[in-house]
Structure 1
Amino acid sequence: MRRSIQLLTLQYVLVVAEEGSFLAASTRLNMHHTALSRRVRDLELSLGVTLFDRHPGGVRPTAAGERFLANLRRVLTDLDGTLSMVGQNGRGETGHLSIGIDAPLPACGYVDAVVAFARDRPDVDVRFTEASRADLHSGLSSRTIDVVIAHGFDRRGATETLPLWRDRIVVAMAAEHPLAGRKKVELADLAQETTLINSQSMEFGTMCGIGTDAVPSSIVRHDVSRSSLLNLVRKGIGVTLLPESDVASLIEGVVSSVLTNKNRSVRLRYDAYWRSDSSNPVSGAFVALLRATYQQD
């Protein structure tokens, strides 16, 4: 029976109920009233129930008709919602988005873009994953991470990349350090300094404009958090390098100066990485926003 009943006929029934007559309903539907009356009568015969009492002034739903119409409205409302959800999914307007990062979130310059994306698409569940580069590569390969945003990240596991922005590098040092107070610190000035890094620190080889011969000779890696590393800097054990966007995270007693190489600011480039064969339409919508926000003509 369900296959023989057309959705259009069910919609006609609702219009008849709303208008209270076949004539008024046929005018609204732009069809002949006898054809409309015949469609409704055929439906009643298929269901084995009378939906409308006919009278000289028009029609009124029977008790069975009232129950049928109430259920029909609910079903059609659910159907509209389902179709709308499917359409939104196809346009990347609902669903989930997993963003992989390799540094603490406050240091990421694209946070505003993510916030704008989340506000424009409230049905999207946005999740951040801060992990090692090996885990980010694994996440891209397994499709548990949709987009990775990082610096110096190789394309293993990703097939597409988009340059986003360049962040100036600063030297963080104790307030009593001899270099403190300068607006700029030359890379050559770090030759005799101990530079502290951790698992989240940038690699010198990834910095734009710095060759291997310019890398400071004394680099000490500590398996500690960013805050612990800054505490070591505050104690005068060494200096460390940070993206300028992370300066707000400096603790009391630690100051910063812009790092330069031959009087030119040293900048770190951040890129977005994703799989072109991703089946998640939301990631495509997010990448489109990144292109519109960061891509230069």
Structure 2
Amino acid sequence: MRRSIQLLTLHCVLVVAEEGSFLAASPRLNMHHTALSRRVRDLELTLGVMLFDRHPGGVRPTAAGERFLANLRRVLTDLDGTLSMADRSGRGETGRLSIGIDAPLPAYGYVDAVVAFVRDRPEVDIRFTEVQRAELRAGLSDRTIDVVIAHGFDQRSPSESLCLWRDHIVVATAMEHPIADRKQIDWGDLVAETVLDNQQSVDLAALSSIAANSTFPPTVRHDVSRLSLLNLVRKGLGITLLPECDAAILIEGVVSSTLTTDGRAVRLRYDAHWRSDNSNPVLAAFVAFLRRKHPEA
């Protein structure tokens, strides 16, 4: 029976009940009143119940019609809500977005971008995942992570990327270090230094401002947090390189200077990476938002 009843017919019944006659309901439905009357009569025959009493002045719902109309309004309201939810989901206004990062969250400007994205999308559930890069790649592959925001991230097909911003690099040294009082430190001056890094450190190979044939200083990797790494710098065991946006996390006894090469500041590029075959509508909305926010990055 449900397949033989059109949604339009049910809508017609509600309008007729609201207007009190087929003639008055006709303009609202853009339908001739005789055709409207036949449509309602066919529905009554299909249901086996009279929905309206006809009288010279129009129609009035029967007792059965009143019960039918009350249930119909509830069902159609629920249907409207379901269709609206599906429409919002299709536009990326509801759902979940997982963002993968490989560095401490508070230091980077993309947090403001994420906040701006969700401000008008209160039904979007944003989740950050901070893990090592191998896990970020695995997460993109199995779609447990929708988008990765990082520098020097190795793209793998099928994937797309968008440059978000570029940040200056600073050299963090102990306050007593011989080069600590310089506002700028040239890349060539680091050849004799020991660079300390960890899993979250700047990838030297990703510094596009430095030529591929440049001499790289010796690097010692420690499996420690950023705070522990800075404590090692403070103790004079080496220096470390940080994005300028991380300079605020420097601890007492550690200072920073801008890294340059040939007189130009060295900058680090940050990109958003996502799989082109990820069908999450929230991801599509987020990427579109980023493209508008960073059109010339």
> Please, what TM-score do these two structures have when normalized by structure 2?
0.91
Task: Please say if 1:215 is aligned against 2:223.
Answer: no
How far apart are residue 174 of structure 1 and its match?
2.7
| 1:91–1:285 Cα contact (<8 Å) kept | yes
SS in 1 for 2:140: helix
Q: Aligned residue for 2:253?
A: 253
Counterpart of 2:189 in structure 1 is 189
**Alignment-mate amino acid for residue 43 of structure 1:** L
Tell me the alpha carbon deviations over residues 127-166 of structure 1, each in whole angstroms, 9 at most, x when there is no partner: 1111111111111111221111211111125422222221
Where does residue 103 of structure 2 map in the other structure? 103
- Structure 1 equivalent of residue 273 of structure 2: 273
Aligned residue in 2 for 1:154: 154
Give the letter aligned to residue 230 of structure 2: L
Q: What are the superposed Cα offsets for residues 172-227 of structure 1, whole Å, 9 maximum, x if unpaired?
A: 2233333334321222332333322111111222212324543223x222111111
1:242 positional shift: 0.7
Answering whether residue 6 of structure 2 is matched by residue 6 of structure 1, we say yes
Q: Is the 8 A contact 1:187 1:214 kept in 2?
A: no
Following superposition, the deviation at residue 28 of structure 1 comes to 2.3
Whichever residue aligns with residue 116 of structure 1, its letter is A
Residue 130 of structure 2 corresponds to which residue in structure 1? Answer: 130
- Provide the rounded CA distance (Å) in 2 between the counterparts of 1:155 and 1:256: 31
SS in 1 for 2:117: helix
Please tell me whether the aligned partners of residues 163 and 295 of structure 1 are also in contact (alpha carbons under 8 angstroms): no
What is aligned with 2:29?
Answer: 29
Matching residue's letter, 1:106: P
What is the alpha-carbon distance in structure 1 between the residues aligned to residue 250 and residue 216 of structure 2? Answer: 24
- The 8 Å contact of residues 140 and 158 in structure 1, kept in 2 or not, is answered as no
Mapped contact 1:147–1:272 kept (Cα < 8 A): yes
Q: Secondary structure at the match of 1:214?
A: coil
The one-letter amino acid paired with 2:235 is: K
Q: Name 1:72's counterpart in structure 2.
A: 72
Q: Residue in 2 aligned with 1:63?
A: 63
Match of 1:91 in 2: 91
SS in structure 2 at match of 1:154: coil
Paired residue type of 1:216: P
Distance 2:215 2:165 in 1: 24
RMSD (Å), alpha carbons: 2.0
Contact 1:50 1:64 in 2 (8 A): yes
Contact 1:158 1:273 in 2 (8 A): no
Alignment deviations for residues 98-119 of structure 1 (CA, whole Å, 9 cap, x no partner): 1111111123332222222112
Q: How many residues align?
A: 296
- 4+ residue segments displaced more than 6 Å: none
The amino acid that maps onto 1:290 is: L
Matches of 2:67 and 2:176, distance apart in 1: 82
| Letter in structure 2 aligned against 1:197 | D
The yes-or-no answer on 1:286 pairing with 2:257 is: no
TM-score normalised according to structure 1 size: 0.91
Secondary structure in 1 matching 2:59: strand
Identity of aligned residues (%): 74
SS, match of residue 245 in structure 2: helix
Segments of 5+ residues of structure 2 without an aligned counterpart are none
